[in-house]
Structure 1
Amino acid sequence: MKLTPSKLNSFLFFKLPSAYISGVRAKEIDLLQCVITVKHRWINQNPFKSMYFAVQAMAAELATGALVMNHIQGSGKKVSMLVAQNKGVFTKKATGRINFVCKDGYKIADALKETLKTGEGQTFWMKSIGTDESGTQVSEMDFEWSIRAKK
């Protein structure tokens, strides 16, 4: 079964309701790239009238994690996934619609192949870049994913 934006948004509603209520939505996904969008609104703002950093982090993490989920689902095997570390840089106030794009899907295949072969955990870093409607970068977040084949 192919992971689509619609299926990902349903997943958000049932499994990550805080992200769904905050307005986080999947826009595009394939094996190499994922685009997640969120619009600055009253429900997700900080006291400085821009998007709260945690909402940006949810969207950014989903952009990377959805790619990992897509690869795992495509393998047909049981594999656990977990964020081991993350880091973020905020360069501009996030207002309007923010798109988080991760183009690091190519990093997953080798790690997935290795954990399925050896059963050992594998880690890799993925980057998600948030831009506003004018294309200006507002944040950049990196997530270290850990995957391990289940026994």
Structure 2
Amino acid sequence: MNPEFSAFKKQLANPFSFKLFLLTKLPSAFFAGLKLIRLVPEEAAIGVSYKWFNKNPFRSMYFAVLSMAAEASTGILCMSALYKRKPSVSMLIVRIEGNFYKKAVGQIIFTCPDGMKIQQAVEDALVSDESKSVICESTGKNESGEIVAQFFCTWSFKSRSRA
């Protein structure tokens, strides 16, 4: 685990701080209403609620908003693994796949349980100086606990120059 995880979490755990982070770094996520539900080294959960701004003509949440929440649940784990690393490590999403099972209405919470896989990929990238990829799963469930959508995000990590 990244020894700086607690410092990273502290920066984002406050709802105001998380909203400020979204507004400055991911404004579309801010306007869509993404919320940090849980962040521990092993897993992250991001919530998003159906509202006027993120609806589609079929009275459900627009697929891109669901994709954004799923990607954020994996990306925040990646960011936590990279926070204050020496040498620094770059991250890039290289693929995203999604499956949709039910209409997305109400609150949808996307959970990614792949924190340890991400940590290992970052460690491997630091040791080998080669890019390493990891496929992260994020599952979105509605308030009844039913799976609404499932995404697979492939992240690539590469150690930056040690010079």
Scaled by the length of structure 1, the TM-score of the pair is 0.95
Distance 1:113 1:128 in 2: 22
- For the pair 1:87 / 2:104, whether they are aligned, the reply is no
Give, as a single letter, the amino acid of the residue that structure 2 aligns with 1:147.
Answer: F
Partner of 1:143: 153
Distance 2:75 2:31 in 1: 19
Partner of 2:132: 122
Give, as a single letter, the amino acid of the residue that structure 1 aligns with 2:70.
Answer: A
- Check whether the contact 1:94–1:138 (CA below 8 A) recurs between aligned residues: yes
Partner of 2:8: 2
- Runs of 4+ in structure 1 deviating by more than 2 angstroms, as ranges, are 1-10, 74-77
Q: Residue 40 of structure 1: which of 50, 58, 61 is its match? A: 50
Aligned pairs for 1:17-96 (under 5 A) are: 17-73=27-83, 75-96=85-106
Deviation at 1:109, TM superposition (A): 2.0
Deviation at 1:76, TM superposition (A): 4.6
Number of residue pairs matched? 151
Q: Which moved more, 1:30-39 or 1:75-84?
A: 75-84
Distance 1:114 1:124 in 2: 11
Give, as a single letter, the amino acid of the residue that structure 2 aligns with 1:20.
Answer: F
Distance 2:23 2:59 in 1: 25
**Gaps (5+ residues) in structure 1?**
none
Sequence identity (%): 38
Q: Residue by residue, what CA displacement relative to the aligned partner does 1:92-112 show, whole Å, maximum 9, x if unpaired?
A: 000000100011101012211
Deviation at 1:117, TM superposition (A): 1.4
Distance 2:32 2:146 in 1: 22
Distance 1:85 1:71 in 2: 19
- Check whether the contact 1:26–1:37 (CA below 8 A) recurs between aligned residues: yes
Distance 2:99 2:138 in 1: 11
Deviation at 1:34, TM superposition (A): 0.4
Q: Residue by residue, what CA displacement relative to the aligned partner does 1:9-29 show, whole Å, maximum 9, x if unpaired?
A: 322111111111011111111
Distance 2:13 2:48 in 1: 14
Distance 2:118 2:85 in 1: 11
Scaled by the length of structure 2, the TM-score of the pair is 0.88
3-state SS of paired residue (2:102): coil
Distance 1:13 1:30 in 2: 23
Give, as a single letter, the amino acid of the residue that structure 1 aligns with 2:73.
Answer: A
